[in-house]
């Protein structure tokens, strides 16, 4: 069972559809309690502790696999009669477990020795499997980190293009300059490729979905939702020659959401609050017109509502499961981007010593 789980998780490059999986059971049994306990912390500390889960769970999963293989081989030794000696005496299953552990991690102290051909064969097989397990782990981590880095680079680039957190309004309004629609078309094309890469990477390595972004107001779900919002708005109410590109990006981005929802078994759900009430839609269209975006003359509300129904239930379900915020259509007033903010610009409390005064030199 452990070997098959490792094969499906690390080697098999496609989504596994069977119901029972040790890895899925492990993440269900650890993520939900972790999320519940973190929810009891102050809001300003929750995102930090949630970000610890991804790396820690990966280490715990690898440890669980290794422990399962060690116990499995110990049971094989026990099933053939515990044929091993240690200092001339037999100590039962604990000796089998010790022999299995030292063999798997290739320690080989020699104080527990198999004495029959079958038990020696098991030791050789387990020793080779220990080497193979280490090689798989070493080969597993680099593509995992690379996929995470590619994901985060594009999310960080949205900071100046769509705000922090990204919103459809900011993404369109910041492309209201001459030839801005061409730049928007190129941006949507980049996110079409990003969505395909995201879909392939997160279906092969679902654990990546638990890895949080560098900033609390950024996330893969927030960025993907902002792109879908932008595409829906372009398709429903914006004049220009990037409508076809918006349709292509919308299709692959929604595909990524739906497939990821199937992987984590998050049933589509309706949000508690309406993300874009009619009065806010009217305000959004008015502000976009002022920003230089040419809008269609025909009403856009029905078409936009139809498109939103295709992805918002999946967004709400994934946001609830991963404890992520769903981005708004319009940003909060007086909200600055991450690149405009700095903790050094905040007023320091009385008596606080500046870092360069603490050591007498600049870092």
Indicate the angle between helix axes 220-237 and 243-263, nearest 10 degrees.
140
Spatial CA neighbour of 106 closest among 139, 70, 60: 70
pLDDT confidence tier of residue 358, bands split at 50, 70 and 90: very low
Domains of the chain: 2-138 (1.10.287.70), 147-336 (no CATH)
Average pLDDT of the residues in 314-318: 95
For the segment 324-340, the average pLDDT, to the nearest whole number, is: 81
Nearest to 93 by CA among 69, 75, 117, 68: 75
Residue 256 contacts residue 199 (beta carbons within 8 Å)? yes
Q: What is the dihedral of CA 73, 78, 80, 85, to 10 degrees?
A: 100
- Is the per-residue pLDDT at 356 higher than 50? no
Task: Tell me the pLDDT tens digit for each residue of 190-246.
Answer: 999 999 999 988 888 888 999 999 888 889 999 999 999 999 999 998 887 788 999
| DSSP 8-state assignment for residue 17 | -
Q: What is the pLDDT of residues 48-85, one digit of tens each?
A: 899 999 999 989 988 898 899 999 988 888 888 766 66
For residue 174, give the DSSP letter: T
């Amino acid at each position: 069972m452990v070997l098959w789980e490792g094969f499906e998780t690390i080697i098999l490059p496609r989504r596994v559809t069977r119901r029972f999986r040790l890895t899925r059971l492990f993440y269900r049994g650890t993520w939900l309690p972790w999320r519940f306990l973190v929810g009891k912390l102050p809001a300003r500390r929750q995102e930090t502790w949630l970000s610890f889960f991804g790396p820690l769970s990966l280490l715990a999963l690898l440890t669980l696999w290794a422990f399962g293989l060690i116990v499995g081989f110990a049971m094989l030794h026990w099933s053939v009669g515990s044929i091993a000696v240690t200092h001339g005496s037999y100590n039962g299953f604990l000796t089998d477990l010790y022999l299995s552990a030292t063999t798997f991690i290739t320690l080989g102290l020699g104080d527990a020795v198999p004495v029959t051909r079958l038990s020696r064969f098991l030791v050789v097989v387990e020793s080779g499997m220990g080497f193979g397990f280490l090689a798989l782990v070493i080969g597993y981590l680099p593509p995992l980190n690379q996929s995470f880095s590619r994901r985060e680079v594009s999310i960080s680039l949205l900071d100046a293009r769509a705000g922090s957190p990204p919103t459809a309004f900011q993404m369109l309004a910041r492309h209201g300059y001459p030839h801005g629609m061409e730049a928007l078309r190129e941006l949507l094309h980049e996110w079409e490729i990003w969505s395909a890469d995201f879909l392939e990477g997160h279906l092969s390595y679902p654990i990546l979905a638990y890895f949080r972004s560098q900033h609390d107001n950024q996330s893969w779900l927030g960025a993907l939702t902002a792109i879908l919002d932008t595409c829906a708005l372009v398709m429903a109410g914006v004049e220009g020659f990037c409508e076809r590109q918006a349709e292509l990006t919308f299709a692959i981005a929604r595909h990524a959401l739906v497939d990821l929802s199937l992987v984590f078994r998050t049933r589509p759900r309706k949000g508690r609050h309406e993300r874009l009430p009619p009065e806010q839609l009217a305000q959004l269209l008015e502000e976009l017109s002022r920003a230089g975006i040419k809008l269609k003359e025909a009403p856009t509300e029905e078409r936009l509502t139809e498109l939103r129904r295709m992805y918002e239930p999946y967004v709400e379900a994934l946001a609830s499961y991963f404890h992520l915020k769903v981005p708004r259509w319009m940003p909060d007033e007086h909200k600055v981007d991450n690149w405009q903010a700095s903790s050094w610009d905040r007023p320091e409390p009385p008596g606080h010593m500046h870092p360069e005064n603490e050591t007498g030199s600049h870092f």
